[in-house]
Amino acid sequence: MQTLQQQRARYALAKVQSAVDEANGTERAGYTAKEFKSQAESFPAMIRMNGLGPAAAFYLAKGGAHKKLYDLLSGWLSQPAQVFAGKPLMDGITQGDSPQYRLAQAEALLLLDWVKRFAKAFVQED
């Protein structure tokens, strides 16, 4: 049985590898690996400064690497054992209560810490 921290890490690793592979692939992903890394580094700070809802809405609206990170976070928070189980992220944010929102924000920051670490590890600087 894996701990929740291990589950976060496994999920983040798979999603970051997929995003980087997509960005480096022959088909245009709409973002570069470097953009993905940059936005992965910025997302937690934006959540801390503005809150989960505004940060998620911004990332959803921007497209490209932003949207990829929004989808990554939404996928995690909507898993069966998570706070917004079975709901898209924006539905969970707008329909949940205050304790759910705070829990989702804390969980988002824990997941995005792993995403940021793996993005740094897998995206090479020029």
Q: What percent of the chain has pLDDT over 70?
A: 98
Whole-number pLDDT of residue 26: 62
User: What is the distance between the alpha carbons of residues 49 and 2, in angstroms, rounded to a whole number?
Assistant: 32
Q: Which one-letter DSSP state was computed for residue 50?
A: H
- Taking only the tens place, the pLDDT of each residue in 87-126 is 999 999 999 999 999 999 999 999 999 999 999 999 987 6
Distance, in Å, from the CA atom of 52 to the CA atom of 6, rounded to the nearest integer, reads 23
**Domain at 4-122: CATH architecture:** Orthogonal Bundle (1.10)
User: In this predicted structure, what is the pLDDT of residue 35?
Assistant: 96
Q: Which residues of 92-114 are buried (b: 16+ CB within 10 A; e: fewer)?
A: bbeebeeeebebbbebbeebbeb
Q: Where are the domains of the chain?
A: 4-122
DSSP, res 87: S
| Per-residue pLDDT reduced to its tens digit, 9-51 | 999 999 999 999 999 886 678 999 999 999 999 999 999 999 9
Predicted TM-score of the model (pTM) = 0.95
